[in-house]
Every structure is written in C-alpha cells, then in structure tokens.
Amino acid sequence: MTDILQIAPRDKAEILAQALPYIRKFHGKTMVIKYGGNAMTDPELQADFAEDIVLLKLVGMNPVVVHGGGPQIEQALNRLGKKGEFIQGMRVTDAETMEVVEWVLAGEVQQDIVGLINQAGGKAVGLTGRDGGLIRARKLKMIDSKDPTKEHDVGQVGDIVEIDPSVVKALQDDQFIPVISPIGFGEANESYNINADVVAGKLATVLKAEKLVLLTNTPGVLDKQGKLLTDLSAQEIDGLFADGTISGGMLPKISGALDAARSGVNSVHIIDGRVPHSMLLEILTEQAYGTMIRSR
Ligand code: ADP
Ligand code: MG
C-alpha cells in the first residue's frame, strides 16, 4: 500500500474531490458492512476500520456492521482443548461450542469493535439477534452439496427464519451505529450460531441497503489459478460451485452475497479487508476493488 504521505498534494486533492459524487449519491443510504474475523486480527487494521465507519456516518450514510470471529472462536476453543470442525463452510456447533461462540462474539469481539468505533468518535451500540427480536432462527437442515439424500448434523447452526430490523432502524434514526453479532434465537429462546455473511446478506435485503460490502482475508473471489475474478454473475457462480473453485468459508459468503444481489441490494462486493481503508476506497472512489457480485 502506498503511504498516503508519499502521494503528491495534487493527487491527494484529486482523490478527495472524487469522493464528492459518491457522498452525494449515498447520503442517507444504508451500507451493510460484514467485518470478517480473519481481516480483524490486526490492531492497526481494526483502528482503520473503525475510523472508516465513523467517516461514513459523519458524511450522512447509515453504516451497519455485522461481524464474524472465526480466529477468535478458534483460539478460545483451543484453550479448552477443542478444535473447530467445519462442514460445507459451517462451524459444527455442539452445546459447549455454542457457549464459546456466544461468549467470544457477543462478549469480546463485538465489544472491541464498539469500543474502537466510539474511540474514533462514533456512537456504536452492540446487538445480538436476541436484542429487539432482531434475528429469529431455527436449526439449519444441511443437505450434502453432492448427494441430496444425505443430511449433515451441524448442531446449533442456525437458519434465519425472520429478521425484524426495527431495532436497527431505531438506532440509525438516533445516529447510533449498530454492531451486530450473528447469533439468532429460536422458539424456546435457544441460541443459534449463524454464519455472519448469511446474516449480513439477509440484513442488507431487509434494510433495503444500497450496498453490501463483505471484508475478508483474500483479494476477493479467486479462480482455480488464484487469479482475482473482478465481476461475477449468478450463472458464473453456479459454475464455480459445480467445479469446486469455491469452498470453505467462501461458500456461505457467496450465497449471502448472491441472495442480497437478487433481492434488490444495488451493489454487492467481496473485498480484501487486509488492505488498509479498502472499504472506504470501495465506497468513495470510482476504482473497483475485489469481486462484484451481480444478480444476473
Ligand atoms: P471470513 O472471516 O472473511 O468469513 P472465511 O475463512 O470464512 O473468512 O472465508 C474466506 C476463505 O474462503 C478464504 O480465506 C479462502 O481460504 C476460502 N476460499 C475458498 N474458495 C475460495 C475462492 N474461490 N476464492 C477466495 N477464497 C476462497
Ligand atoms: Mg466466514
């Protein structure tokens, strides 16, 4: 990354001026940002991210943060002598793992993000799916991707039944920045671990967001040779699923992204959260970053 101090003043002015049409276009619009677990382990990147969120809010947009926490959950499990297991990109969640997930996401990770945003001058409020009845869920029925007669038991992994965005809207109207942990609750008030990309995708749809930006730990979606795919249609995605190019955590990410794109979210991007200020560059400059997901 070029150091901002090395850029000539003229170029700096040009970059700033370029942001104006985007600030105008996105004024009052909701931006759902998924902050990936793997892109949020570096303290400097965390601080940059918090500043970017506050900047978006101050220029009149409505950022909503949904966070993950894969590495942090993995660390906590390791301390208990457990190791995470994944099936088709989803973390197998037994009762003990659920406790760890809830504690790490809602306790540690969410509160870190809230603290950093507040330090940067924003007013962040942490929520889980339980708060204000935000995310109702049920146990996910996971069908094997190759053999539709086979079903996997992934424990307390949740499937979203309904999102009630009223608590998010109320916070936005009061100038707060919602920071959401992807935990849902069921009919008996039981907790569910939901993939954060899936929550972000659905939330973007329900909030009629202008944009969904998924920050992750790769430059975007890569092809079999490791080359960045800058633009993907639903049809191309079907092909990548079928030939195994997309696997692991990228499976729910693409599903969440495609869902949002198909349900009216204007632009959906998977970008590299390891690049400082990548989200700001995506939203406020004409340059395209990462992979754009199109509904057709
Ligand atoms: P996050 O915390 O951002 O959700 P995940 O580990 O869940 O991170 O998902 C991102 C990971 O998906 C990448 O680090 C990579 O290992 C994996 N992945 C699988 N297929 C692809 C692909 N085609 N392009 C990019 N990443 C992929
Ligand atoms: Mg993930």
Q: What is the pTM of this model?
A: 0.95
Could you write out the three-class secondary structure of the chain?
Answer: CCCHHHCCHHHHHHHHHHHHHHHHHCCCCEEEEEECHHHCCCHHHHHHHHHHHHHHHHCCCEEEEEECCHHHHHHHHHHCCCCCCEECCEECECHHHHHHHHHHHHHHHHHHHHHHHHHCCCCEEEECCCHHHCEEEEECCEECCCCCCCEECCECEEEEEEECCHHHHHHHHCCCEEEECCEEECCCCCEEECCHHHHHHHHHHHCCCCEEEEEECCCCCECCCCCECCEECHHHHHHHHHCCCCCCCHHHHHHHHHHHHHCCCCEEEEEECCCCCHHHHHHHCCCCCCEEECCC
Where residue 5 falls among pLDDT bands split at 50, 70, 90? Answer: low
Cα distance between residue 189 and residue 128, in whole Å: 13
Q: What is the pLDDT of residues 171-211, one digit of tens each?
A: 998 899 999 999 999 999 999 999 999 999 999 999 999 99
Cα distance between residue 149 and residue 147, in whole Å: 5
Instruction: Give the ligand with the smallest distance to the CA of 37.
Output: 1
Indicate which atom in ligand 1 lies nearest the CA of residue 71.
2
Pocket of ligand 1 (CB under 6 A): 36-38, 68, 70, 197, 216-218, 221-222, 245-250, 253
Ligand 1 pocket, mutate which of 104, 250, 269 (most atoms under 8 A from CB): 250
For position 244, what pLDDT does the model report?
92
For position 287, what pLDDT does the model report?
84
Cα distance between residue 129 and residue 182, in whole Å: 7
Largest CA-CA distance found in the chain, in angstroms, rounded: 62
Where residue 161 falls among pLDDT bands split at 50, 70, 90? Answer: very high
User: Average pLDDT, stretch 251-269?
Assistant: 95
Residue 149 has pLDDT above 60, yes or no: yes
Indicate which atom in ligand 1 lies nearest the CA of residue 214.
3
Distance 116 CA to ligand 1 centre (A): 25
| The two three-digit tokens of residue 195, written as one number | 């993939």
Q: What is the pLDDT of residues 69-110, one digit of tens each?
A: 999 999 999 999 999 899 998 899 999 999 999 999 999 999
Which residues have their alpha-adjacent CB atom under 5 A from ion ligand 2? 249
Buried b / exposed e along 69-99 (16+ C-beta atoms within 10 A): bbbbbbebbeeeeeebeeeebbbbbeeebbe
Cα distance between residue 273 and residue 34, in whole Å: 10
Residue 4 has pLDDT above 60, yes or no: no
Ligand 1 pocket, mutate which of 74, 213, 215, 216 (most atoms under 8 A from CB): 216
Indicate which atom in ligand 1 lies nearest the CA of residue 252.
7
Query: Do the Cβ atoms of 107 and 169 come closer than 8 Å?
Result: no
